[in-house]
Structure 1
Amino acid sequence: MSRSQWGSKLGFILASAGSAVGLGAIWKFPYVTATNGGGAFLLIFLAITFTMGFALLLAEFAIGRAVASGAVGAFRALGNRRWSAIGYIGVLCCFLILSFYSVVGGWTIGYLVRALDGRVMTSDSQALGSLFGSYVGNPVEPLITHGIFALLTLLVVMSGVQKGIERAGKVLMPGLFILMLVLIARSLTLPHAIDGVMAFFAPDFTKVNPGMLVDAMGLAFFHLSVGAGCMLAYGSYLDRQTSLTQVGAWVTGLSTVTAVLAGLMIFPAVVSFGLNPAAGPGLTYMTMPVVFTRLPFGQLFAVAFFALLLLAALMSAVSLLEQLVVLPIDEWKLPRKPVTVGVTLLIFLMGIPASLSFGPWASYTFHGKTVFQLMDYASSNVLLPLGGIGTALFAGWKIWPLMAGELALPRAIEPALKWTYRVAAPCLIALIMLYNL
């Protein structure tokens, strides 16, 4: 399959950062941080992100650019059929993530509608909690918004991912960043906002345990979109002149800054209005409307926020869906449009039980986890780490000379990165996984 290239380095950086940020930074990061010791979790998360996460991001970029192929084809071309199993793990991981991610993406559509009609414009935390609970617990409406979100993702992928993502990234990422800064400025002026900042940054080291390390590692991988092959696919569109370490540093930095800003945007409001910072996936939806009610033209800000949140979610979803459709296109030379439709239909069907687990199926659990929680756990804490282990071993042992050439690192740094791929990353990831399992 012939592949185009990114139009500019900036376009690639913003598109990759948009894919990495998505809802992971704004929806997931604050509540996972809140349940894991605040600043203590943040320190560990940052350490993993800028070491193993960054190294694996570079590996995916390098493998993708070297072969200009999707994950399965790239691992097979550079290794053999056994190594292609890493690519299949990534495909399965993308399938699970996109199935529940599309449900949450649909929530942004539901809340965009509620922002337009003014239903979210209240500072009553109980009313906001009831609004969110009644929405996600409804057996029908979240499925409709899940379907609409899946359809939007389908349309982007069918019409050409590269141009769509690159153009969107240049507008949406700066827009989201600026709006977040405005909301942070307002959130920090709320009563007791400093207590929220302390709750976010103050470390509680009593919460440090292997389970917390698993959450930090899973979120770091989820946050950078590594381990599932999405960044590998994006790397396959890079030209030979682009410095992988430079763009990798920018993508890691931008996505991490956005995650920290999301915490600063949400935590002060959470504490100021007496909300529970460990409220789970609905934290963003139950917190930000409180800030909007205190802003001039608050409803306009609410509409803009949920619209940009929707578009940021779409940027991530597009990269996940592209990874899924590339497999049958590369392997069996099937046409893009029917493949994209078929895969999207499967995603929608798989998302139904995830959506219903907040309502009629909430009582159906396995080891205390709902279907939604099981899908999140399996992808973030099992499949993404497995993909990370495989990618690291592949980069460090199977294709290290190629990796060194693609990354063009100073010779003084090469031994440390080689040791990270061969020993440090696989061993640490494996130990944390085994303990948790």
Structure 2
Amino acid sequence: MANLNQNNEREQWGSKLGFILAASGSAVGLGNLVKFPAVAGKNGGGAFVLVYFIILFLVGFTLMLAEIVLGRHTKLNAIGAYRKIRKNWAWVGGLGVLAGFMILSYYSVIGGWVINYLLKSLTGALKTSDAEVINQMFGSLVTGTVEPIVYHGIFMLATMIIVIGGIGGGIEKSSKILMPGLFIMIILIALRSMTLPGGVEGIKYLLVPDFSKLSIGVVLDALGQVFFSLSLGMGCMITYGSYLGEDTNIPQSATIIPLIDTGVALLAGLAVLPAVFAYNLDPNAGMGIIFKAFPAIFAQLPFGNFFSFIFFLLVLFAALSSSISLLEVCVSYVVDEWKMNRKAAVTLLGLIIFVIGSIASLSYGPWGHIKFVAGLNFFDSLDFISANYLLPLGGLLLCIFVGWVWGTDNAIKEATNGGKLTFSLASLWVILIKYVGPVAITIVFIRSLI
């Protein structure tokens, strides 16, 4: 499918499944594989999961629906969508485009690390359980000058090739491969992890609620995890929604996407926490879980190289499914507003992001002494600004815009395809987008600042 047809109509998703898989891929990322198991483990396992599901509905579904509706109604990028309805609100969409640009600049560096480890698993270089050797291997990669930039470039190039293909021929087609592949591999790793000696304790920890652990802190952690896990506030769902046809059932899609994202997060918990318990590891190790803990585990298992390869291929699929949506947010803006063709827009943005990502990579190596925001290096500053300022602010203003500026009547009319569909939760959604969402996100915002 071409980017534009002869009548200059906007390209659309080829199928409902294609949209749902692409949107789910945008939401499913490294945060599901690393952060969810760690946050769940810290907050009482099953009790946290229960709270997470409640907040997933109250906040996740609410904002997901708002973004998709706004995108389809305007048929424009994140900035254009706000501008079309209220000209002086265009800058809010700009926050989303900027967030996507900044996140991809360092996210692609991590994607490069994943490719490096995928190749290491093929060659058998990871077949060691010596913690000192593993730490040295990861440290050598991250602090390197040339090697991490080369792999960052490879990851960025793969992302660009997919996005150049457009919505139907690139993003949708790749999502139909990446998402089913991701599910198959994460189930395989989860089954292996759960059968480890002592792994059953990890399963209990994740799924059996310990209500004694419930506290306001658990609720706030669940709120923050839902918000960041679903990629809300960065314009991804507005952009993807802009390519939807008029007959799409948006309320149904806005329900399915968060559920798929949460399903992956739970499977990630079943893949990570049993192994954590079996090998007495720290579930709060962050990226260390991926690059340090799991290589050590696989090295001790029969067919360890095979499982190591599957694991890093899984992580790569999760990273790619998110990176293509981040790049598409920026590309859609340039194509719509600058009237640039898709190939030129992807090439320009890809090169700029590669340069900025290279600087971020060097900030863990020879440029590590240069500090930016809050005494952080350049890499961590990009993460800090986007996660703590741009995303919560974008989500908060989205609620205010849809709930109070554009108006819920207009949003519901769009969501029901002009009244053709039944939206049974419309009255509740109005309360959630106008009152619950803004309050919840404000709490996340203030807490992230503190």
TM-score, structure 2 normalization: 0.88
Q: Which amino acid aligns with 2:93?
A: G
Shift of 1:285: 2.4
Q: How does 1:299-314 map to 2 (within 5 A)?
A: 299-314=305-320
Deviation at 1:204, TM superposition (A): 8.2
> Which residue of the partner structure matches residue 348 of structure 1?
354
Pairing 1:428–2:440 present? yes
Q: Which moved more, 1:367-376 or 1:318-327?
A: 367-376
User: Structure 1 residues 22 and 435, CA, compared in 2 at 3 Å: closer, same or farther?
Assistant: closer
Query: Are 1:70 and 1:326, in contact at CA under 8 Å, matched by a contact in 2?
Result: yes
Confirm or deny: 8 A CA contact 1:58 1:244 kept in the other structure: yes
TM superposition shift of 1:44: 4.1
- Whether contact under 8 Å (1:90, 1:229) holds in the other structure is yes
How much has 1:220 moved relative to structure 2? 2.0
Larger mean Cα displacement after TM superposition, 79-88 or 164-173: 164-173
Of the candidates 332, 336, 346, which is equivalent to residue 326 of structure 1?
A: 332
Q: Which residue of 2 aligns with 1:60?
A: 67
What's the Cα RMSD here? 2.6
More displaced 10-residue stretch of structure 1: 85-94 or 282-291: 282-291
Contact 2:95 2:390 in 1 (8 A): yes
Amino acid at match of 2:401: F
Aligned to 2:410: 402
Letter in 1 for 2:138: F
Structure-2 change in CA distance of 1:42 and 1:126 (3 Å): farther
1:215 and 1:381 in contact (8 A); partners too = no
Pick the aligned partner of 2:80 from 56, 61, 73: 73
Distance 2:106 2:15 in 1: 32
Aligned-partner residue type, residue 30 of structure 2:
L
CA drift of 1:295 comes to: 5.2
Structure 2: which amino acid aligns with 1:317? Answer: S
Distance 1:430 1:204 in 2: 26
Shift of 1:375: 2.3
Q: Any idea what the Cα deviations from partners look like across 1:256-281, whole Å, max 9, x if unmatched?
A: 11011111101221232232221122
Structure 2 partner of 1:266: 272
Q: What's 2:21 paired with?
A: 14
Partner amino acid, structure 2, of 1:108: V
Show the 5 A alignment for 1:13-412: 13-34=20-41, 38-39=45-46, 41-77=48-84, 79-201=85-207, 203=210, 208=215, 216-293=222-299, 296-362=302-368, 364=370, 366-367=373-374, 369-397=376-404, 398-408=406-416
Q: Which moved more, 1:396-405 or 1:36-45?
A: 36-45
1:413 corresponds, among 425, 432, 435, to 425
Structure 1 residue 181, shift from structure 2 partner? 1.5
The residue type paired with residue 35 of structure 2 is K
1:124 to 1:192, Cα distance in 2 relative to 1, 3 A: farther
User: What is the CA–CA distance in structure 2 between the aligned matches of 1:193 and 1:363, rounded to whole Å?
Assistant: 41
Which stretch of the first structure deviates more once superposed, 108-117 or 124-133? Answer: 124-133
Q: Using the TM superposition, name which of 389-398 and 218-227 deviates more.
A: 218-227
Alpha carbons of 1:369 and 1:44: their partners in 2 closer, same or farther (altered >3 Å)?
farther
Distance 1:88 1:214 in 2: 27
Paired residues, number: 435
The code of the aligned residue for 2:413 comes to G
- The CA deviation at 1:337 is 2.3
**Superposed displacement of residue 333, structure 1:** 1.0
| Alpha-carbon displacement from aligned partner over 1:202-233 (angstroms, at most 9, x marks no partner) | 658669556x6665444323321221111111
Change (3 A) 1:32 1:355: farther
Partner of 2:4: none
Amino acid at match of 1:414: A
**Cα contact 1:183–1:265 (8 A) shared by 2:** yes
- Cα distance between partner residues in 2 of 1:4 and 1:337: 15
When residues 70 and 214 of structure 1 are mapped into structure 2, their CA distance, relative to the original with a 3 A threshold, is: farther
Cα distance change, pair 213–381 in 1 and its aligned pair in 2 (3 A): farther
CA 1:216–1:346 in structure 2 vs 1: closer, same or farther (change >3 Å)? farther
Q: Please, which runs of 5 or more residues in structure 1 have no aligned partner?
A: none
What's the secondary structure of 2:335's corresponding residue?
Answer: helix
Contact 1:110 1:145 in 2 (8 A): yes
Please say if residues 112 and 151 of structure 2, whose CA atoms lie closer than 8 Å, have aligned partners that are also in contact: yes
Q: Determine the C-alpha separation between the residues in 2 that align with 1:31 and 1:370.
A: 24
Q: Compared with structure 1, are the counterparts of its residues 203 and 371 closer, same or farther at alpha carbon in structure 2 (3 Å cutoff)?
A: farther
Is the Cα–Cα contact under 8 Å of residues 58 and 436 in structure 2 kept in the other structure?
no
**1:140-164 CA distances to partner (integer Å, 9 max, x unpaired)?**
3212111111111112212324322
Which amino acid in the other structure matches residue 262 of structure 1? A
8 Å Cα contact 1:266-1:287 kept in structure 2:
no
2:60–2:226 contact (8 Å) kept in structure 1: yes
Per mean C-alpha deviation after superposition, the further-off stretch among 118-127 and 420-429 is 118-127
Segments of structure 2 that go 5 or more residues without pairing to the other structure are 1-7
CA separation of 1:44/1:355 partners in 2, compared to 1, >3 Å: closer, same or farther? farther
- Tell me, yes or no, if the aligned pair for 1:105 and 1:310 is still in contact at 8 Å: yes
Q: Choose the corresponding residue for 2:9, options 2, 22, 31.
A: 2
**Residue 396 of structure 1, CA deviation:** 1.2
Q: CA deviation at 1:307?
A: 2.6
Aligned-residue offset at 1:121:
2.4
